[in-house]
Chains A and B, each alone.
Chain A
Amino acid sequence: MKKLVVALVAAMLAPAALAQNIKIGVVTFLSGPAAAPFGVPAKNSAEFVVEALNAGKGPAPYTKRGFGGAAIEVVMLDEAGSTTTQVTEFRNLVQRHNVDLVIGYVSSGNCLAIAPVAEELKKLVNFFDCGTPRIFEDGSYEYVFRTSPTATMDSVGAALYVKDAKPGVKSIAGINQNYAWGQDSWGDFELAMKVLVPSVETKTSQMPKLFAGQYNAEISALMSAKPDVIHSSFWNGDLEALILQGGPRGLMKQSLTILTTGETAMHKLGAQIPDGTVLGARGPFGPYAPNNAYNKWFHGGYVGKYKEEPNYASYQMAQAFLGVKLAWEKAQDANGGKRPTNEQVAAALKGSTFEGPGGTVRMAIGKGHQAIMETAYGQTKMQGGKLTVVNVKRYPAEQVNPPEGAKSAEWIKSGFKAK
């Protein structure tokens, strides 16, 4: 009897020891202005994906339970607060919570600050959303990855779409938030437009303060300038306020208006977005996601669980998990089925290609640490009481992302040729 008990206990403990949980730190905005458009949809996505993967209900090749048979355990952290706070919290995740890896970060400032700390602590981190191309253009890392494309792709894709949708465009104008994201987005877009249409004139560039909220004067200035095209990388309440204040004044009717992160607003503000507005989703996400098995699994599961549409931040979070899962399992297989080290997972993720709900993700630049994907833009059209996108154009990954070793700004300046 005693032997039986010992055997039972051993049998119960053995699988647990083999399949010790994989602890993943997930960092995204749970409070503050970025929570609603990015943080909460990304958190929901992480919860849905983890639940599905732990139940072994991912689509092939993501069918193995959790990561390589071990259940995923999430330590969720709020990204709100200063960059210094985030660096401290990252250290806590690694040194106190002993997470195996970290997936997170919306803010480019936070990504830039976390990257060297991850390297110092030798902890694998996968940035799921932040856009700055500087991370891998100005630095070289072993443990840092980003499975979503950079903001350069958004701006170049926007310029290509404008050229296609408005042949003979003569003038452009911009309204972007006055900080790194807004300035870089406008800078890249303006530069790309001048390369594509050298005669294009910039009528005005409005740079209101982040979260200013009141844009009557800016809208008047834009409407007075009468540009052919208006570019905006506004996000969150600023994007929604621009739509709410600009729509009734006919801003989007007067000029072809391209909102590079507009997809986050389409699910909430559908009826308020005038037909013909160009919406971006920072990649082939949301309405631009391919009709593949991964999207059917993700979109269906997400809508079923939360009764709302996933936005691009949700897609980015899902593919961040899937990319790391595949690399983890590849490294585990190469390690004879034993739990892989962060170095082994990094080696497997580096330069890899995987499929996700947004289509093919190739870790093709930044020495194999930075993803490239195709991108898409389309124009809004209210159909049957639902806001849809029409005139969708897709641009291959190589057309909208710089090649390996090239810096984004130099690549655009050189007419999209520089190496």
Chain B
Amino acid sequence: MNQLLSVGVDGVIYSAWLFTAALGLTLIYGVMKIVNVTHGSFYALGAYAGASLTGAWLARGYPPMLSYAVLFASALAITLLVAPLIERAILRFMYAKDEVVILLITYALFLILEDVIKLVWGVNPYFIAEPYALLGSFNVAGLAYPTYNLILVALALVAGLGLTWILHSTRVGKLLLAVIHDPEISRAMGINVNRYYLVTFTFGSLLAALAGAFTAPTVSVVPGLGVEIIVLSFAVVVIGGLGSLPGAALGAVIVGVVRSLSVHYLPQVELFVIYFVMAAVLAVRPRGLFSLAEPRKI
């Protein structure tokens, strides 16, 4: 029973982390039809910005409790600096091209940004351990978990529920849904579609950067950080259905729980269990669990 409880807690923590990272990917695909590989770069940029700015904040002896706000501000700042630049300078000229071409362009940008990260931050690792241990621990099934993990869960909930509320309960969200369903008609109706693309790309990238920034206190921030997350995020959104918000949530929960179960009960299969689930879902539902008949949705 205790072990099942810890499976649940581990699964929830992992799912929350994964959902925050994957949410932006599915949003950008849903709106812009771009399988955005640079999502991994924004995750890494968020981690680097978070680690270096929060590290500087703590090194100067400023209040450690505010380091969480610095993590948030770091992700926001780096996203506002880079995402609009990429969208305005490169991606907006590519929207007419085939999805595969845009995928390759974002892959090229991902490789360029990997080198830019090395140029700016070097190859040495960055650490900011303080925020992880600062809030103490809570116990479940006799095991201690840093309370910081609850911040990751809260971040995932706020991001997911917030985005759902924006899409379904605000004017901006409804206009965005119109853009998702038919950009041409939306443009004819007077909606500034390009502006929605810019905002979507920036907001989606911000979610990746936030996931990176809030992961930074738990890991060593090193080159290549963005590679693993893009593969996992892709698995999550494919399981849920590309472009589907509830699909991404369900995909993250499935991946998190299945991985946690395998780690606790059958560690030998942990390496491939996520991809096995992805393959199994695709075999039954080739467009993912939440795919509907419509070609576009979110």
**Residues of A that sit less than 8 Å from B by CB:** 30-33, 35-36, 39-40, 178, 204-209, 211-214, 216-218, 220-221, 223-224, 236-237, 239-241, 244-245, 247-250, 268-269, 271-272
Contact = CB atoms under 8 A, between A and B. Distances in A.
B6 A214 contact: no
A236 B263 contact: no
A295 to B, nearest CB: 24
A98 to B, nearest CB: 29
B270 A208 contact: yes
Contact of A35 (B143, B221, B223): B223
B169 interface: no
Given A216-B14, A224-B6, A236-B220, A249 B267 contact: no
B125 A36 contact: yes
Interface stretch (B55-63, B83-91, B127-135, B243-251): B127-135
B225 A213 contact: yes
B145 A249 contact: yes
B214 to A, nearest CB: 12
B174 interface: no
Contacts of A241: 218-220
Nearest to A41: B124
A214 B218 contact: yes
Contact of A248 (B146, B259, B263): B146
B137 interface: yes
Contacts of B125: 36, 237, 240, 268
Given A33-B223, A211-B227, A244-B219, A268 B127 contact: yes
Contacts of B192: none
Contacts of A269: 127, 129
A213 B123 contact: no
A218 B267 CA distance: 9
Contacts of A249: 137, 143-146
A236 B127 CA distance: 13
Contacts of A31: 118, 123, 223
Interface of B: 2-3, 6-7, 9-11, 13-14, 17, 118, 123-125, 127, 129, 132-133, 137, 141, 143-146, 149, 215, 217-225, 227-228, 259-260, 263-264, 267-268, 270-271
28 contacts: A31-B123, A35-B123, A36-B123, A36-B222, A205-B267, A206-B270, A208-B271, A211-B228, A213-B219, A214-B17, A217-B7, A220-B9, A220-B263, A223-B143, A224-B2, A236-B222, A237-B219, A237-B222, A241-B219, A245-B132, A245-B219, A248-B132, A248-B133, A249-B137, A250-B144, A268-B125, A269-B127, A272-B127
Contacts of A268: 125, 127
Contact of A244 (B141, B220, B270): B220
Contact of B264 (A33, A213, A220, A240): A220
Contacts of A36: 123-125, 222-223
Nearest to A175: B267
A213 B7 CA distance: 18
B127 A217 contact: no
A178 B268 CA distance: 9
A217 B144 contact: no
Contacts of B268: 207
Scoring B143, B215, B220, B228 by chain A CB atoms within 10 A of each residue's CB, the highest score goes to: B220
Given A217-B7, A217-B260, 11 more contacts: A35-B123, A36-B223, A206-B263, A208-B271, A216-B149, A218-B267, A237-B220, A239-B220, A248-B132, A268-B125, A272-B129
Nearest to A213: B219
A33 B149 contact: no
A212 B228 contact: yes
Pick the most buried of A39, A178, A204, A216: most chain B CB atoms within 10 A of its CB: A216
B144 A240 contact: no
A248 B134 CA distance: 10
A240 B220 contact: yes
A207 B267 contact: yes
B267 A213 contact: no
B123 A40 contact: yes
Nearest to B3: A224
A211 B124 contact: no
Contacts of B146: 248-249
Nearest to B6: A220
Contacts of B127: 240, 244, 268-269, 272
A391 B160 CA distance: 51
A239 B125 CA distance: 12
B129 A221 contact: no
A71 B153 CA distance: 59
Given A213-B225, A240-B127, A248-B133, A206 B218 contact: no
B141 to A, nearest CB: 8
A205 B268 CA distance: 8
B267 A204 contact: yes
A240 B267 contact: no
Nearest to B17: A214
